Structure 1
Amino acid sequence: MLRDLRSSREALVGVVYALLFLDNMLLTVVVPIVPDLLQRLEAMADGNSSRPAADENGRVGALLSSKALVQLVVSPAVGRLGHRVPLLAGCTSLLVASLVFAFSQQYYSLLAARSLQGVASACIGVSGMSLVAEQYQEQAARSRVMGVVLGSVALGVLVGYPFGGLLYDFVGKMAPFLVIAALAFLNGVVQLLLLDMKSAREHAVSGMGITTLLADGMVLAVAGAIWLSTSAMAVLEPCLPIWLMDTLRPQKWQLGMVFIPDSLGYLLGTNCFGGLAYRLGQWKVAVAAMMLVGVSAFSIPSARAVSQLAVPHFGLGLGIGVVDAALVPLLASLVDCRYGAHYGAVYALQQTAVSLAYCLGPLAGGELVRALGFPWLMRGLGAVTVLYCPLLAAVGRRPQGALLGDASAVNYQTAEDGDSGGTAYRRFLGSDTSN
């Protein structure tokens, strides 16, 4: 039975799905916790219980962006290191980061935990998506399965916000992090059972890197769309709770609940639009989704009650989910026809785009809120997103045949530097085709 699981594509997808879920659950669990926690720690240190919430913008932004900064640095290297070992390393890093979060009582230990999660996210995101792309070479199946896998991101976000807010309010700070640590440990055990770590080592793709892809206009346009759409959420995460605390003054549990609509929208977008985007045209669907992201971001500051945030938040999450469901599988197709199925490099670029958004978003967002105010920041970001749509549409007008090429011409071989003879590329698990 264990041998059957090791040869199953579905088992591999399940491992990646669970790990992405936990990573994004940890990502968002801290969002409703950190602003209030830092206020309490600062108040205890200064003996001042009336510190304004807005004064924490810079510290919260730095803490939340540290994860993305580390991920931004680590992701390009992970694309060259194979898949099995980075996946397990990501799981281990996630476990340790959760434990550090649970026991931290100082700002700098929280910063260390958030940074360590950046290593975990880089390993999980790049190696996980590369494995799924390799297992599903058929474009229609790849779009559908990748949409489902991306849904784990939405599910983790959906669970993380209210899970962190509720347990922090009613149980304590340690509870949500200890639950995530336990689940990460179980995922690591499953990996050790299913993945043969003693088998022949996977070959690094030394001749292909992010710099090569950055010279490709189509790949760069896709990465730019992913970066820009993700930036809207990256700005909201640290800035919206503080804006709400200063204006609408919600309960602590509402700071987590307010993100449920965009999480539901993302979950719907990724799960339902992967295959649909392939049938309708991935570029067209991505342009429409970018328009939705821009309009929704522009509308968020108009809310005068927490309940009025539901519609623009849902539209924002749906738009980002559809953008990812359309463009993330498209990246693999572009690499298939142009670079010989070097998925590690292209998904390192995709993770770099996401990391850049979550790095610049909290940092720049915290400072721009002070300079412009939260409403004008979101309206400006929405306008820029809409203005990007014509560029994305122009790139997508190229003939689909020239874009994707002939699938039969895809070369699934890589050459390893330092090996005098080429080494045939081998599927990670249970290959049903071979070179």
Structure 2
Amino acid sequence: MAIETTTSPTAPVRDPLGSADTSGSTRLSTRDKLVLFVLCAAQFMVALDFSVLNVALPALGADLGMSTSALQWAVTAFALPSGGFLLLFGRIGDLYGRRRLFLTGLTLFGAASLLATFAWDPASFLAGRALQGLGAAAIVPTGMSLLTTTFPEGPARDRALGISGTLLSLGFTIGMVAGGGLTDALGWRSTMGLLTVFALIVLPLAPGLLPESRTPDRPRLDVPGAVTVTGGLLSLIYALSTAADHGFARSDVVTTLIAGLLLLAAFVAVESRAHAPLVSLPMLRRRTVAWGNLGGLVTFSMMSTVVFVLTLYLQDVLHLSAFETGLVFGVQGVLSVVAGSFTPKVIGRFGARRTLVGSLAGQGALVAALLGLNSHTWSVWLATAAVSLASMFHLGAIISYGLTATSGVPDEEQGLATGLVTSTQQIGLTVGIPLLGVLATTSDDLLAGVHTVLALDAAIVLVACVLVALGLRRTQPRI
């Protein structure tokens, strides 16, 4: 039986966007810590899945007989359902029970990871990856909703989101470092086996710890909205994922890109007339939701692009080994943990709005510093320092955008708000590399291409910083 969550009616009130009331306590009970462990472990597992397989792709292709061009589907098969079904599953969790859907997603993810581990041909492996993505689409929004409804707005939620954001960033980084080591030592199947182990650890603990939560009434599910947004996101993610490897000239990329944009436009029209919309358009008109999610979209998409082009630069320009490249990003992971420990304190002092703006400014400035990279080996020190410090600001933006975009939202709409937050995250991780990374991979001079990408990346982050600052400036403090 699940333990019910209780929230004290006298919990300290704070302005989540401006200066905070520092009288609240961040101390968590034993049960709170266990709940946080379960939710964060699940999020860490999903973040790990985004990167752990990357360096194992050549070995996987040789073992299963997949061509180089087909290997993109090892990534795309996961990205399509994990991004496409996020909003739908977030809303289903709101209506029919977040804990129930979280456990279903966790079970599916574990079974799918086992299938991928023991895959006997490309079809069985890709089926496992697609089912992993479907499980992740259920885990991520419901896990975030359970976190924000379990921990009341204020210092406790700040700390919980700080830990969650740290592990999210760390999971992506550790996946890149661990993937190579596991593949060299145990083979590519061990990368999928690691995810199975995580699921087996979390799943037995979750039912007895997590509270059930749902909206008090059950309006009918917005089926037209679900069809248009899911179809639109699936089409858009497919187009951008395929373009990352083959460019935008292919007919299927152009067709699915146009279809995705048309379906998303139809979704907006449907939602404006729906009795119980999947996405509340008035919610999107909230400054905190709109500008917070813009900050999140930019920080995720631009940082994933930096990691991608730096991987190319370190191995193809400086000729570092995969292991040495992993060590560079290992430093990034360590500093992300450091940032996660003090970011909630920064938010407690300055508020989420100022932290988000400052974090975007820091990330943009440090990406600009990477323009000093050249073909000399000493550049590895500049790359390590700049990307690691940029990641600290990136983590600050992750935590503060999540707080900004969910602040002041009623509990019954937290699944919707966190569905938007996690959709922003997944789309951000998907769009950055196809939009900018292709400029590096198609350049005759790789170093020049890397400089072009980094210059555009820094400019986009800094422009977004200004827009978010202006957009949130007139936001009124919540009393």
Residue equivalent to 1:395: 471
Residue equivalent to 1:87: 102
| Cα pair distance change 1:397/1:4, threshold 3 Å | closer
1:22 aligns with 2:45: yes
CA distance in 2 between partners of 1:364 and 1:126 (Å) = 26
| Cα pair distance change 1:109/1:238, threshold 3 Å | farther
| Cα pair distance change 1:117/1:368, threshold 3 Å | farther
Contact 2:81 2:134 in 1 (8 A): yes
Residue equivalent to 1:151: 166
Contact 2:305 2:433 in 1 (8 A): yes
CA distance in 2 between partners of 1:138 and 1:200 (Å) = 18
Deviating more after overlay: 326-335 vs 293-302: 293-302
CA distance in 2 between partners of 1:233 and 1:262 (Å) = 12
**Out of 415, 420, 434, which is 1:363 matched to?**
434
| Cα pair distance change 1:346/1:308, threshold 3 Å | same
SS where residue 210 of structure 1 aligns?
A: coil
Matches within 5 A, 1:130-209: 130-195=145-210, 207=276, 209=278
Compute the displacement of 1:371 (Å): 4.2
Residue equivalent to 1:343: 414
CA distance in 1 between partners of 2:312 and 2:71 (Å) = 10
Residue equivalent to 1:327: 401
Compute the displacement of 1:345 (Å): 0.5
Residue equivalent to 1:224: 294
Contact 2:102 2:142 in 1 (8 A): yes
Compute the displacement of 1:128 (Å): 1.1
Q: How many aligned positions are there? A: 386
Residue equivalent to 1:37: 59
Compute the displacement of 1:318 (Å): 0.8
Deviating more after overlay: 60-69 vs 8-17: 60-69
Compute the displacement of 1:196 (Å): 7.8
Compute the displacement of 1:134 (Å): 0.9
Contact 2:370 2:383 in 1 (8 A): yes
SS where residue 85 of structure 2 aligns?
A: helix
Residue equivalent to 1:428: none
Task: Give the counterpart letter for 1:299 in structure 2.
Answer: A
CA distance in 2 between partners of 1:98 and 1:300 (Å) = 37
Residue equivalent to 2:389: 315
1:378 aligns with 2:393: no
Contact 1:293 1:320 in 2 (8 A): yes
| Cα pair distance change 1:259/1:144, threshold 3 Å | same
Compute the displacement of 1:201 (Å): 9.7
Contact 2:294 2:468 in 1 (8 A): no
Task: Give the counterpart letter for 2:431 in structure 1.
Answer: L
Residue equivalent to 2:364: 294
Q: Please list every run of 5 or more consecutive structure 2 residues that lacks an aligned counterpart in the other structure.
A: 7-30, 222-275, 444-448
| Cα pair distance change 1:73/1:203, threshold 3 Å | farther
SS where residue 54 of structure 2 aligns?
A: coil
1:234 aligns with 2:328: no
CA distance in 2 between partners of 1:200 and 1:78 (Å) = 13
CA distance in 1 between partners of 2:218 and 2:400 (Å) = 28
Listed one character per residue, the Cα deviations across residues 307-350 of structure 1 (whole Å, up to 9, x for unaligned) are 432112112211111012222122222324xxx65100011001
CA distance in 1 between partners of 2:90 and 2:178 (Å) = 32
CA distance in 2 between partners of 1:66 and 1:239 (Å) = 23
Contact 1:72 1:352 in 2 (8 A): yes
Contact 1:265 1:321 in 2 (8 A): no
CA distance in 2 between partners of 1:238 and 1:117 (Å) = 23
Task: Give the counterpart letter for 1:21 in structure 2.
Answer: F
Deviating more after overlay: 157-166 vs 74-83: 157-166
1:352 aligns with 2:408: no
SS where residue 205 of structure 2 aligns?
A: helix
Contact 2:51 2:175 in 1 (8 A): yes
Q: Please list every run of 5 or more consecutive structure 1 residues that lacks an aligned counterpart in the other structure.
A: 47-55, 407-435
CA distance in 2 between partners of 1:162 and 1:118 (Å) = 22
Listed one character per residue, the Cα deviations across residues 278-303 of structure 1 (whole Å, up to 9, x for unaligned) are 32122111111101211233334515
Compute the displacement of 1:129 (Å): 1.3
SS where residue 187 of structure 2 aligns?
A: coil
CA distance in 2 between partners of 1:332 and 1:105 (Å) = 43
Task: Give the counterpart letter for 1:185 in structure 2.
Answer: L
SS where residue 407 of structure 2 aligns?
A: helix
CA distance in 2 between partners of 1:138 and 1:231 (Å) = 27
CA distance in 2 between partners of 1:398 and 1:201 (Å) = 31
Task: Give the counterpart letter for 1:75 in structure 2.
Answer: L
1:117 aligns with 2:132: yes
CA distance in 1 between partners of 2:279 and 2:144 (Å) = 16
SS where residue 298 of structure 1 aligns?
A: helix
Contact 1:69 1:355 in 2 (8 A): no
1:254 aligns with 2:361: no
Deviating more after overlay: 180-189 vs 265-274: 265-274
Deviating more after overlay: 8-17 vs 232-241: 232-241
Residue equivalent to 2:113: 98
Compute the displacement of 1:352 (Å): 1.0
Q: Provide the aligned C-alpha RMSD in A.
A: 3.2
CA distance in 1 between partners of 2:403 and 2:66 (Å) = 49
Listed one character per residue, the Cα deviations across residues 116-157 of structure 1 (whole Å, up to 9, x for unaligned) are 333233222211111111122242221122112222213323
**Out of 272, 279, 287, which is 1:210 matched to?**
279
Residue equivalent to 1:433: none
| Cα pair distance change 1:61/1:260, threshold 3 Å | farther
Compute the displacement of 1:360 (Å): 1.5
CA distance in 2 between partners of 1:17 and 1:41 (Å) = 33
Residue equivalent to 1:69: 80
SS where residue 80 of structure 1 aligns?
A: helix
